[in-house]
């Protein structure tokens, strides 16, 4: 999440409405969803600092197992703002495989492969 995005509530409302629409369109492949998500997070990071993992958790955002472990270690605020998904093997698997063997909770890439 980018700390400079004021329209978060608007996007949440739009997503909520979109989830309840049953228009009969085919679902996008999980690999495509993973690539889009990776690109969006990368662009957010380029436009400004991401929220720290501590701030994300405090705002009600979920953290994956790797991010939770990262918050326990003694890293500074700058290190907490890194996009840890860029170095995670779950991202690579999710972008390359349609049924990626990734199962841990809190990982957005796992969620893409559930549908």
Residue 5 pLDDT exceeds 60: no
Please report, to the nearest 10 degrees, the dihedral formed by the alpha carbons of residues 107, 46, 61, 27 taken in order. -50
Q: When comparing pLDDT for 103 and 18, which is higher?
A: 103
> CA 1, CA 53: separation in Å to the nearest integer?
10
Q: Would 3 be classed as within a structural domain?
A: no
Asked, for residue 36, whether it belongs to a domain, the answer is yes
Over range 92-107, report the average pLDDT: 88
**4 assigned to some structural domain:** no
Q: Which range marks the domain in which residue 48 is found? A: 28-112
- What are residue 50's DSSP bridge partners? 2
Number of H helices, E strands in the chain: 7, 0
Write out 48-78 in H/E/C secondary structure. CCECCHHHHHHCCCCCCHHHHHHHHCCCCHH
Read off the pLDDT of residues 66-99 as tens digits, 9 standing for 90 and up. 888 888 887 777 788 888 888 888 899 999 998 8
* pLDDT tens digits, 13-49: 777 766 665 566 677 889 999 999 999 999 998 998 8
pTM: 0.70
Band (115; pLDDT cuts 50, 70, 90): low
- 63 touches 106 (CB < 8 A): yes
92 domain-assigned:
yes
pLDDT at 38 (0 to 100)? 94
H/E stretch holding 16 reads helix 8-19
Number of domains in the chain: 1
């Amino acid at each position: 999440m980018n700390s400079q995005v004021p329209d978060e509530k608007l996007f949440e409302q739009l997503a909520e409405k979109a989830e309840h629409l049953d228009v009969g369109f085919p679902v996008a492949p999980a690999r495509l969803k993973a690539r889009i998500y990776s690109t969006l997070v990368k662009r957010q990071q380029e436009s400004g600092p991401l929220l720290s993992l501590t701030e994300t958790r405090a705002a009600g955002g979920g953290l994956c197992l790797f991010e939770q472990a990262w918050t326990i270690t003694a890293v500074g605020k700058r290190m907490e703002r890194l996009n840890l998904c860029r170095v995670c093997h779950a991202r690579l698997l999710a972008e390359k495989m349609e049924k990626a063997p990734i199962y841990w909770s809190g990982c957005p890439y796992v969620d893409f492969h559930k549908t």
